[in-house]
Structure 1
Amino acid sequence: MAFLLLSLPIALCVVFLFSRWRNDPLASIPGPEIAKWTGLVLKYHWLVGNRMKYVHALHERYGPIVRVSPDEVDVCDLAAVKEIHRIGTPFLKPYAFYRTLTSPDMENLFNTSDVKFHSARRRLFSSSASDAELHKSEALIDARVKLAIEKMRAEMKTALSGAVDVFQWWIFMTTDIIGELCFGDSFRMLEYGRNNQYSHDLTAVAATEAVKVAFPGLISLAGSIPIPIPYVQEAAQAGARLGKYAVESIERYKALLSKSLSSPTAEPMKQTLFTRLFQLQSNNGKPGVEEGEEGSLPDKAILDEAITFIVAGSDTTANTLTYLVWTLSQPANAHLLSNLVTELSSLPEDFTDSDLKPLPHLTNTINETLRLYSGVPSALPRVSNTPTTLATHPIPAGTIVTTQAYTLHRERSIYPNPLEFQPGRWDNPTRAMKDAFMPFGGGARTCLGVHLARMELRLATARFFRAFPGAKVHGDMRAEEMEQVAWFLLAPVGKRCLIRG
């Protein structure tokens, strides 16, 4: 009897595995044998920040479409990638995945899989985030850039090493900028020159992105019941504090805006990404309880969008700037730095972003940095509710299909010598280079913050190398410290970048 009880589950397991092998709808897609049976290997690489490199290695071995787990494939075939991300594509964001990276109980611009919802919500923000509208905030943005450069110069003079950690200062700068653009007030990180509770909380939340993906619901659960894993509990508490701070900031800004609108003598309010939405609430005479035809959003929806903007809008640009400075400050790239410094020297003292846009060396340098060091280099999952074909392989409905900029940007047939930093390749980019270039995503789901990111990159790069034309990597820096890791957003593994002026 005991033998029968023991053998029955084993027999059922064998039958299940045989049936899965016999009826495997993804059997034609190449990949490691273990990917047919379990996604644990992929989860492991998520957790250690190595997914992008693991999947890239699979592509180099198996080709442009590869199976990475029982129900997931990754694609780097350019025609297939264009199909996945084109406007009107049947491939949509899987809500179950993206909601783990945001508030799980709130649908927003980033996590929604509803095309109509996304289109309507994006229209509310597209004007505020447009290049033309951001021009109105350029003075605010540039003031933060200038302050960051001043702080770096002061640290170089006082530090015994004569070096500055640009990674730290870029994080402070971009976090302050996105704080001002979301809440009308910065976090004062540049002024104090150190991390505060808010920045610690941002780091704690960002560090658990891979855990959220690998074990959905764990962080949310930790907010309700104690889970004896310190960093999980810390992330849950950090998320709660971020929400509380955002609520207080939004309420403070709304009160000031209401006072400004009701008093003709009041000073004009500082514009934010959400000013228009708050004005719509006031015009409708509602406190923003419902999302009306006029486009007003409930306060909780604005709050959720604001937190998402801050998380996405700080580390991404700061990390790209860090890699740009690190790359140009290496002796092997002295000629590239010289070209850029010469170009920047022609600028007037009071130059603006409009003066920077036409500069070819600056633009090429930024594009090449974005190619090799994209802010989100790893998986962008999509799913189709109907069967389709990608790269000649049938893809059943419900299959998770991912693309990753890390691999697309290193495709040899598109970018010759892909591992070399060659800004000149962007002098005359091919159609394929443009199509494969996805540092901000692609299609209708392209990152809304692309114009802000590029403005920050232009202003910060120009002002840094005008201030430090002879920048060099400090001798204490090891190349291994700049190895890329990505739990969803990119970061250097050493979390520092020491540069001498």
Structure 2
Amino acid sequence: MESLKTFIHQSMRSPLQLAITVVLLYCINAVGYAFFFSPVRHVPGPWWARLSKLPLLRATLQRRRSQYASDLLAKYGTVVVIAPDQIHTTDEEAMKIIYNRHSRKTSFYSNMGSWKGVTSTLGFIDYPSAAPTRNNLIQCFQNKNLATLVENMSSHIGEFCDVLRAKAGQDIDGVVLFRLLALDIVTDVLWGERKTLLSEMSDQTPVFLRRFHAFSSYNAMKSFIPGFDTFVRIVGSARWRQLRQDCSDMDVTAKEALERWESEPKHRDRDVLSMLRSMDAAEDERKRVPSEHIPAYMVEMLAAGSSTTSHTAAFTCWALTKNPEAGKKLEQELKDAFPGEIEEPRLMDLPYLDAVIRETMRLMPMIPGPLERYLGESVEIDGIKIPAGVVASTAARDQGQMASVFPQPEKWMPERWLDASDRMHLNWTPFGFGSRSCPGSNLAMTELKYMIGIIFRQFRVVEPGEAGHKQERLDLADVFVAGERSGHCWLRFELL
């Protein structure tokens, strides 16, 4: 101890020695805390994850946050330390506590869910603050309103089928085409948009689509990594600065749509924008949606309402190209149910169609990685007690890969859902879990069943023809699944 005091005293004479001393003391303090005082010191995990969040941030920057957490679970078991005072688990009972009303979201959500000074549903950290706006959205998307909201959906899918008919026998990028369809549907549902992206499709990327892509990728990155936005603004490349600008301009699209909506003397009474506007007059102040907040809500719903459906539809088609027998079963179910015209509402009750979509979302969830919460109460996992205040998470990818629940979890097998167990449904979490799960999941599943059902009553999907397209596999990244090299999902459709 005396020698340490002497070293510290001597180091004060030199700036370099002072810097070394500060670093040394910091390391001693960090090691001491991590291994002797941390509330997760008894949880299995690598030493470096206990000491620094840098490995997790590095994986996030590489869009491999999901893989990082999954790899640690595979090595250490049901629960593992993935960063200082942060654990990740697949325990089902713990999942119920992690996502109950007493837990709080982390700063990622407050950043992601804050748009130019307005906090939207995603951005409220605690449940009581989120409940009013969340309940507003649930009211919009409940079953009694679905029939009105989706009344024009089949016309958009019909336009999509016209594009497929024109491109039959050609390789197409399913990610791009399904995204155009999903955005046409969601803008119609949200504010009754009549102008469609599919009808104006060309080799030029529409401004709206460019802004939307920027919002989906850039906004997530700056929310995950502290200081990322400032870094891009000051020293970022031209590409990243353009992405930042396009992301910032996303609300311009929403405001332009709002202006068109207000200028039209007649529009649908039951689009989501109409519902939100009507809530501004509610007697209960907690249920009101101020007019100036609506563009932020529109931006949030655009992202949430189109990304999941577009990618899931594309990857369902991709999975069917790899499993032609499943394609034949789906084709037969649709023919038996609809020998003539399709009655869209009946698509909701077709078991194999439901199974095909659920299996795709199990294996390739659109938000696959850890959904973090500050524990509101303690939880016990494998005999290890983890106190309140620790950051804890589960992930849709990991819950869907549990071999004890889903035998042969790496295989895409829709049949497993035809007699699904309670544990299968419990661990199927592509829309999140618990008190803050996605309020639009009902609409998303309706949209997916309409898409896949109408398309596969007229077409079958086969392997792409070009060798490079055929060989490319899909890679599970943090935000969306994408081609391992190109980011595309190549498909080829044939008329039945």
TM score, norm. by length of structure 1: 0.88
Query: Which residue of 2 is the match for residue 318 of structure 1?
Result: 310
The counterpart of 2:52, out of the listed 38, 42, 58, is: 38
Cα deviation 1:138-186 (Å, max 9, x = unaligned): 23111111111111221236xxxx2232222101000111112223215
For structure 1, list consecutive stretches of 5 or more residues without a partner in the other structure: 261-267, 285-290
Cα distance between partner residues in 2 of 1:334 and 1:55: 33
Cα distance between partner residues in 1 of 2:179 and 2:148: 23
Question: Mean alpha-carbon deviation: is it higher for 425-434 or for 128-137?
Answer: 128-137
The counterpart of 2:490, out of the listed 484, 494, 497, is: 497
Query: Which residue of 1 is the match for residue 335 of structure 2?
Result: 345
For structure 2, list consecutive stretches of 5 or more residues without a partner in the other structure: 1-12
Distance change (3 Å), C-alpha of 1:415 and 1:353: same
Cα deviation 1:119-147 (Å, max 9, x = unaligned): 21122222221233121132311111111
Cα deviation 1:446-492 (Å, max 9, x = unaligned): 21121221112111111222222363343432454422212x34444
Query: Which residue of 1 is the match for residue 326 of structure 2?
Result: 336
The counterpart of 1:253, out of the listed 261, 264, 270, is: 261
- Does the 8 A contact of 2:157 with 2:451 survive in 1? yes
The counterpart of 1:458, out of the listed 442, 449, 455, is: 449
Distance change (3 Å), C-alpha of 1:343 and 1:307: same
Amino acid at match of 2:18: L
Query: Which residue of 2 is the match for residue 204 of structure 1?
Result: 214
Q: CA deviation at 1:117?
A: 2.7
- Does the 8 A contact of 1:280 with 1:294 survive in 2? no
Distance change (3 Å), C-alpha of 1:337 and 1:394: same
Cα distance between partner residues in 1 of 2:353 and 2:263: 41
- Does the 8 A contact of 2:110 with 2:125 survive in 1? no
Cα distance between partner residues in 2 of 1:279 and 1:299: 10
- Does the 8 A contact of 1:376 with 1:405 survive in 2? yes
Query: Which residue of 2 is the match for residue 64 of structure 1?
Result: 78
The counterpart of 2:404, out of the listed 413, 421, 446, is: 413
Distance change (3 Å), C-alpha of 1:7 and 1:196: closer
TM score, norm. by length of structure 2: 0.89
The counterpart of 1:153, out of the listed 165, 171, 178, is: 165
Query: Which residue of 1 is the match for residue 181 of structure 2?
Result: 173
Q: CA deviation at 1:112?
A: 1.0
- Does the 8 A contact of 1:64 with 1:77 survive in 2? yes
The counterpart of 1:446, out of the listed 437, 444, 459, is: 437
Cα distance between partner residues in 1 of 2:237 and 2:461: 46
Cα deviation 1:403-425 (Å, max 9, x = unaligned): 10101100001100101111111
Cα deviation 1:231-255 (Å, max 9, x = unaligned): 4422331123211221121133134
Matches within 5 A, 1:114-263: 114-156=126-168, 162-185=170-193, 188-194=196-202, 195-219=205-229, 221=230, 226-256=234-264, 259-260=265-266
The counterpart of 1:76, out of the listed 60, 84, 90, is: 90
Cα distance between partner residues in 1 of 2:62 and 2:27: 32
Cα distance between partner residues in 1 of 2:69 and 2:329: 36
- Does the 8 A contact of 1:179 with 1:187 survive in 2? no
Distance change (3 Å), C-alpha of 1:479 and 1:127: farther
Q: CA deviation at 1:54?
A: 2.0
Cα distance between partner residues in 2 of 1:170 and 1:62: 39
What SS does structure 2 have at the residue aligned with 1:403?
A: strand
What SS does structure 1 have at the residue aligned with 2:258?
A: helix
Amino acid at match of 1:55: A
Cα deviation 1:353-377 (Å, max 9, x = unaligned): 3221221211111111111111211
Cα deviation 1:280-312 (Å, max 9, x = unaligned): 44x57xxxxxx9628331123221111011112
Query: Which residue of 2 is the match for residue 381 of structure 1?
Result: 372
What SS does structure 1 have at the residue aligned with 2:411?
A: coil
Amino acid at match of 1:19: G
Amino acid at match of 2:198: L
Cα deviation 1:309-353 (Å, max 9, x = unaligned): 1112212111111111011112xx221111111111121433233
Q: CA deviation at 1:103?
A: 2.5
Distance change (3 Å), C-alpha of 1:31 and 1:498: same
Equivalences, count = 473
Query: Which residue of 2 is the match for residue 403 of structure 1?
Result: 394
Query: Which residue of 2 is the match for residue 275 of structure 1?
Result: 274
- Does the 8 A contact of 1:222 with 1:233 survive in 2? no
Cα distance between partner residues in 1 of 2:23 and 2:234: 36
Distance change (3 Å), C-alpha of 1:269 and 1:186: closer
- Does the 8 A contact of 1:353 with 1:455 survive in 2? no
Distance change (3 Å), C-alpha of 1:269 and 1:55: same
- Does the 8 A contact of 2:365 with 2:397 survive in 1? yes
Cα distance between partner residues in 1 of 2:249 and 2:195: 14
- Does the 8 A contact of 1:173 with 1:190 survive in 2? yes
Query: Which residue of 2 is the match for residue 50 of structure 1?
Result: 64
Q: Structure 1 vs Structure 2: percent identity of aligned residues?
A: 23
Distance change (3 Å), C-alpha of 1:335 and 1:269: closer
Query: Which residue of 1 is the match for residue 26 of structure 2?
Result: 13
- Does the 8 A contact of 1:72 with 1:401 survive in 2? yes
Cα deviation 1:63-93 (Å, max 9, x = unaligned): 111111112111111121122224x4x2222
